[in-house]
Structure 1
Amino acid sequence: MKALVVGGGGRENAIAAALNRSGTEVYSVMKNNNPGIAKMSVEYEIIPETDIDKVAQFALKHSIDLAVIGPESPLEAGLVDVLEDEGIGCVGPTKAAARLETSKSFARTIMRRHKIPGNLDFAAFDEFSRAKAYIKETNKELVIKPIGLTGGKGVKVMGEHLKTKKEALGYIEEIFKNNIGGAGVILEEKAVGEEFTLQAFCDGRNVVPTPLVQDHKRAYDGDIGPNTGGMGSYTLEDHGMPFVRPQDYEAALDIMKKTVAAMKDEGCPYKGILYGQFMLTRDGPRVIEFNARFGDPEAMNVLSILSSSFTDICSGIASGRLNADRVSFYNKATVCKYVVPEGYGTEPKAGKEITIDEKSIENEGAMVYYAMVDKKGDKVYTTTSRSAGVVGIADTLEEAEKVCEKALTHVKGSALFVRHDIGKAELVQKRIDHMKQVRG
């Protein structure tokens, strides 16, 4: 089997590694020279992932059987539609189905139309004047989001990032003025609770879940600083979350199953990875957003402990014959911490050399995935995005966090930064205590 991996980040390095472990020949296209992906690839090409004609040409040239699309931008560009027309099976939704992520108003409207639980009240606008009037008339604190794609960095919350209505209006005006997301603004009800992520494999009908993950968006220890694409994440050995009850988990999974069924009814079946970002409130899980692909860093957590063949899973997704009995994970905890350039989230320092001792990291019992770095000659350099994800794996969360920290000592560079509190007992307990408070 020949599989094409599209994308050059940490998520895609984890995808390539999982395919490689399954005995698959990996080919790849990416906009940056990710040495982790390149090393695993029989052939690779440095091209923009949204240049769908060139990606398709590469796939056809190498007689690719299966394509796994990592990032959202080529999904929005219609890469799956083009590859499937050429007879290449895909792990990723069509352009129409990817609207669950690429249009936040589409996702909310689908949930409303099909009476899917877990939706939030919302209003979408394609004109600044109407959004401005709505803000002026409401007394509610809202979540402000560009409707289209923003790389996970466009969301701002009134009362947190935006302290006054004036600041909220200023941000909405900025969205329209700079065409952020390219499709207007959506104003959503603010949900209060604890966030968690449920990712699932989908073949258009069947939904097979992976372990729950909790990501950490804020840049600095203690949940402060600017929002980022994600500084790290953890999973537990029982594949749950310490503050998520069994009934909460089942409710979240039911929401995802109902959403996939609704997409089939709408005439655009959803095949690929469905990422559900949930806020666990006193009334149960509410949908913050759907993503049409694995999360980054969350992919690194779940794929690192996948005990079954990822190639078989991907083939099942592409063919519409996904078998839940052939999906399994080790009962291990994981802690992923991202190494990022100093200033990431505001003014990242790019172009700095980074060295990674892969063998020593492996000897610590951890895994490392190169992210948005760029290899030039025999050296690797940072870009303005995240550099490498280090995943500690052990029988307990406490042990996994310690493994991760030891492994991080083998990543060197002059201008690097890590958020160290991810996976530590104090921060997890803070989440548990907050959820108890929310439930009253």
Structure 2
Amino acid sequence: MIDYCSALRGRFFDIAAVADSPQEIAQHARYLEDGLLFIAEGRIAALMSWEEGQSHLRQPNDWTDLRDKLIVPGFIDSHLHYPQTEMMGAFGEQLLEWLTTYTFPVEGQYHNAGHAAQMSAFFLNQLLSNGTTTALVFGTVHPESVDALFAAAAQHNMRLIAGKVMMDRNAPDYLTESAEQSFRQTRELILRWHNHQRLGYAITPRFAPTSTPALLEAVQRLREEFPDTWLHTHLSENPQEVEWVKSLWPEHENYLDVYHHYGLTGKRSVFAHALHLQDAEWDCLHHSDSAVAFCPTSNLFLGSGLFRLHTCWHKQVKMGIGTDVGAGTTFSMLRTLGEAYKIGQLQSYKLCASEAFYHATLGGARALCLDDKIGNFAAGKEADFVVLDPAVSPLQQLRDARCHDIYERLFMLMTLGDDRNIAQTWINGECAWRRDTLEVAA
């Protein structure tokens, strides 16, 4: 008999193992039309067919009936900014002008702990209501912004990684700090929050243009002192940004070399965007075991460029999917995958459903070096997952009735789906959000 706390019956899809090619993803894809998931103390005890699993039940009816739903691992958002939630959909600018016009004024509010707490609660509810169970998140330069976010995430026992922005030039006075102040405040936050419950700290220099050599040296010192933290920053998002980096850092071979010089590439280093990379930069990412975050909705919204999925596979660089709220225009990973498909189409790359869901689940976990903990339904992993209602509108119902297999159904979800398709979100073996109450579960 399996020792379990709860059991769910439904349809299940995941990718059973990490992959180094789209073909391997297809080989590792697993679908159970009628499955039984056993949960014990916040972890996956077992996933098996109903036929096999019913003999392990304590009583014949000791299970929750979700047979009309599709259950997938929790979505992993590899890059977003929680303070920018309140400025989503800001009109008319590309990256550098957008930062000056919209982003910096909004981020200036987060010295106020009350405002940060209010927006943290709203932000986490948006994640949960969209099926996102793990995220890598930017705060602002204010320690209050990170304290508020971590405190709110701890209440849900979420697996969340976040960090205070580090920035000491080329920003308004009210958002800049000295390198030493940034070092000191970041170190205090690491000691307070890193590895507390399921929380992790990401050392977060905004990007090379807002960093002096002294600041990146401070980041390097922190990374050396706390080698199990994450490094989270931006890389090569916009052509004007790339030219700016060349003018600010002329002694370096390329944009990535600025970070690499200070020892900031490597395992648990995640670089958002990576749109305009030279071959040498791709090679450095691969050899250093760094990861990138593909952010399709924000790349399109800001007119930044098209991420090269084929090159990322060819160069064997780990990748996750990021909504990049607030330049990104949705918290929905389903909608984000739909935009990723369109970006692939513009480059003659066919992003199939199994690959897309891999990037949003196990592939994202691998990019964050968490694939031993989350990302699929392997026994022993943390029980973070999403219960999807595959047909919540007349159009979806019509299309769903004509799907021939699970891959067509998943593709329909990622092109026609959104937050309405999220029926429940489970965190650490407990239902943390459910659509029938439209709020975080008690």
**TM-score, normalised by the number of residues in structure 1:** 0.26
Name the structure, 1 or 2, with higher relative contact order (CA <8 Å, separation 6+).
2
**TM-score, normalised by the number of residues in structure 2:** 0.26
The answer to which structure has the higher strand fraction is 1
